[in-house]
Structure 1
Amino acid sequence: MRQTWRWFGPKDLCSINDMRQAGVEGVVSALHHIPTGAVWSPAEIARRQDEIGRMKDGSPSHLAWEVVESLPVSEDIKKQKGDWRAHLETWKTSMRNLREAGIEVICYNFMPVLDWTRTDLAWRLPTGGTCMRFDLIDFAAFDIHILARPGAAEDFTPEVTEEANRRFADMSEDRKLALARNVVFGLPGAAENFSLEDVRRHLAEYASVSADRLRGHLVDFLAEVTPLAQDLGVRLCCHPDDPPFPLLGLPRVMSLEADYRAVMQAVDIPANGITLCSGSLGARPDNDLPGMMDRLGDRVHFLHLRNVLRESADVKGSFHEAEHLGGGTDMVALIAAVLREERRRKAAGRADVSIPMRPDHGQDILDDLGRQAQPGYPSIGRLKGLAELRGIMTALEHPVEGLR
């Protein structure tokens, strides 16, 4: 497993020096400043590579940009409206430019409107640390009362709706504003300037897009870009829905093993692959992460290793970001399945034997608490997670124990 680390660019409070000292082997990044639908030019790609390649004093970092996360798919492509065909061509041009720069793995997602959704970005834990959390009652209160989406109450059980009504009635104005900001933070690149009216407008544009239709649009997108990716030697990997169940009346099409299997079969080309995110998929009790790795592992091109603690047995329920070894996913079993897949690849003579992984998210602990880093991406919390994951990998590969 190739140990990587996500970096948001020069404004990231985690520096190249920090990553180097953490012992990571490669960097996951993206050109977040370029608008969705625009081309990632060779010059901009080279600039990011240069930023990753140098430490603060200008000396070589010996790190390289190895995985793109994410090359965004526009809402026009997802809806097949407006400039979607032009956006397809710019997406392919960006992919060519990335490959010419030596980058082979591109992560993307097909979530409509919201990239991810949390109701709390710094929920206090009993330890004194903080983490991100999705509270179903708070979200229902937002959807029904703050956003006031027509028909929202019908998407929740009567019990959830009743509790959401009570909670909203007790909310201060500050809490209502904070809840709205937290939910809107998942809008790509728009945490600071998207209004509730913007959200309502986006939702209205998806009114006629069912889950089957959105899945069809995903297959159409992949049918266009994957043959080129295969020719170029690029591995594409779709990130799952986060959380993996419908929200705001929007369709979700990458939440289950069956969803991935259907899309892999529809565009049955090796370059069409999976970002196996154990945190996103693990937010559902019916997703078997070690089993998914065993069954779909030949198409897993990228790994996000994190854990969530589900707060109920319901498919659609509350959860929070747990320690990497402390949530509902058996991380030892999952890593063992990854190592088995890598052994199979080695035996088959594949070039992509070592699957890039990153310690996804982390709790804010110690000095992270006052650092105000990107939500979910504290330096110390991720370093702790990486150390734990690295320990499992080392133990399972040790000759005394052997890989079972």
Structure 2
Amino acid sequence: MIFEQSWRWYGPDDPVSLNSIKQAGAHGVVTALHQIPVGDIWSQEAIQERINLLEESNRLHSFKLHWNVVESLPVHEFIKQGRPERDQLIENYKESIKNLAACGVKTICYNFMPILDWLRTNVRFELEDGSTALLHEMIDVVIFDVYMLQRKDAEKSYSDDILQKAREKYDSLSDEEIKVLKQSLLMALPGDKDGFTIEKLKNGLAQYDNISREQLQDNMIYFLEAVIPVAEKYNVVLAVHPDDPPWPVFGLPRIVSNAEDLKFIFEKVPSKHNGLTFCSGSLGASEENNLPEIIKTWYDRIHFVHLRSVNRVKPYHFYEANHLEGSAKMFDLVKNFYECSKGKNRLLPMRPDHGHEMMDDQGKPYYPGYSAIGRLRGLAELRGLEFGIINALK
């Protein structure tokens, strides 16, 4: 096999139960301790408490689950900003790595995106078949930025043509459409029950006013040079998640968006414990990214895989397609993983990312992208594709 089939689970409050995850065919559980404030240490006791939930479920059936990936162990904004408090926060991060390793959890996904982990302009965009998907459209981002957020000098981030189109569309929007746009762009992060407000987002953006792309890169390397030796000592791998979307938003710099960014990160901190979460959706949102080439170049650095596809309507405008459709060319990606895996004893944890809301899941209180049936469909399709490729090419 190429992949260890995995499923993201948000813990005891997740509407998708552990028993449902088993029935979906996943063995690996990708989870995190969202209840712990960002920057605090994850104690061994808290980590073991999550493991105990899996073990309790395992006692009920012979089908076993295990915690194979942390997604995510968040990096505090003060570390990204390079503030004086970062050194203590990095020490806390090191301690969390050590505690996770002591409990047997040794793959950690994280990101270095300022403030926002991801950005969509409609989290329930209706498709032709009546299911819903996540949508990102630059014109809508501009409308929010200029007319709702009213970020200082926001107009300077966009061309006159885009600003004109945004003005025209904004004037045509109904009150309900404006509400949907605002709610989608202020969507809480998974595990963040408070969510963002306009004021909270503006305050967060202000903290990055004088931080350039180069400074953010320097701050990331400072962080990695401190934590990777600890990861090496305890045989833990860190896997950075690419920017989503892979271009600047609200004036914030992006530094994990393309092959050039990856080359910079991996050359600056060459240890293979400094690795990548290969997300075909995040990287694939930009037509400039050659996904098969990224797999071939950095296969030994890829420690975790998110497989999903986006349909690129035009530059900076995409929606999330069915897993085997859209712009990703999923057959080519899985085939490349298979070819790179030959002769290497690696079973990469992989989860189906961002399923559509469909069938009986519609109208239920799922976090957008993380309903049960849409991800079940995605996992089934990906398992079938993997099975077919392995048996056709072995």
Other-structure match for 1:349: none
Match of 1:216 in 2: 218
Structure 1 position 305, deviation (Å):
0.3
Aligned residue type for 2:378: G
Q: What secondary structure is seen at the aligned counterpart in 2 of 1:93?
A: helix
Q: CA deviation at 1:170?
A: 2.5
Q: Distance in 1 between matches of 2:364 and 2:251?
A: 35
Partner of 2:370: 377
1:50 shift after superposition: 1.4
Where relative contact order (Cα < 8 A, 6+ residues apart) is larger, the structure is 2
Q: Which structure 2 residues correspond to residues 88-127 of structure 1 after superposition, within 5 A?
A: 88-127=90-129
Distance 1:282 1:338, change over 3 A: same
Could you list the structure 1 runs, at least 4 aligned residues long, displaced by more than 4 angstroms after superposition. Answer: 56-61, 186-191
TM-score normalised by L of structure 2: 0.96
Shift in CA distance, 143/227, structure 1 to aligned 2, threshold 3 Å = same
Inter-partner Cα distance in structure 1 for 2:59 and 2:43: 27
Deviation at 1:28, TM superposition (A): 0.3
1:28/1:76 Cα in 2 relative to 1: closer, same or farther (>3 Å)? same
**1:26, 1:65 within 8 Å by CA — same for their partners in 2?**
yes
Q: Note if 1:358 corresponds to 2:351.
A: yes
SS in 2 for 1:291: helix
Higher mean C-alpha deviation, range 165-174 or range 185-194: 185-194
State the Cα distance separating 1:164 from its structure 2 match: 1.1
**Structure 1: stretches of 5+ with no match in the other structure:** 347-352
Per the normalisation by structure 1, the TM-score is 0.94
Counterpart residue number, 2:360: 367
Task: Please tell me whether the aligned partners of residues 186 and 195 of structure 2 are also in contact (alpha carbons under 8 angstroms).
Answer: no
Residues 323 and 363, structure 1, Cα contact 8 Å, conserved in 2: yes
Matched residue pairs, number?
392
Per-residue deviation, 1:290: 1.1
Partner of 2:137 in structure 1? 135
Moved more, 193-202 or 353-362: 193-202
Aligned to 1:275, what secondary structure does the other structure show?
A: strand
- Report the AA paired with residue 79 of structure 1: Q
Which of 181, 184, 196 does residue 183 from structure 2 map onto? 181
State the shift of 1:247 in Å: 0.4
1:158-177 counterparts in 2 under 5 A? 158-177=160-179
User: For the Cα contact (< 8 Å) 1:256–1:287, is it kept in 2?
Assistant: yes
- Partner of residue 145, structure 1: 147
Q: In structure 1, how many angstroms separate the alpha carbons of the residues matched to 2:82 and 2:23?
A: 45
* Residue 168 of structure 1: how far off its partner (Å): 1.6
Q: Which residue of 2 aligns with 1:15?
A: 17
Tell me the distance in 2 between the aligned counterparts of 1:378 and 1:16.
14
Structure 2 distance, partners of 1:213, 1:379, is 40
1:185-209 Cα offsets, whole Å, 9 max, x none, are 1557546343211111111110111
- For 1:279 and 1:54, how far apart are their aligned partners in 2? 34
Give SS of 1:32's match: coil
Match of 2:344, SS state, is helix
Partner of 2:362, secondary structure, is helix
Determine the structure 2 residue equivalent to 1:334: 333
In 1, Cα distance between equivalents of 2:134 and 2:58: 30
Specify the SS of the correspondent of 2:393.
Answer: coil
What is the distance in 2 between the residues matched to 1:193 and 1:306? 25
Is 1:110–1:218's contact at 8 Å kept on the other side of the alignment? yes
Structure-2 change in CA distance of 1:80 and 1:343 (3 Å): same
Q: What is the aligned partner in structure 2 of residue 386 from structure 1?
A: 379
Confirm or deny: 8 A CA contact 1:29 1:68 kept in the other structure: yes
Helix, strand or coil at the partner of 2:57: coil
Instruction: Return closer, same or farther for 1:25/1:187 CA change in 2, 3 Å cut-off.
Output: closer
Q: Which residue of 2 aligns with 1:287?
A: 289
Q: Distance in 1 between matches of 2:287 and 2:55?
A: 41
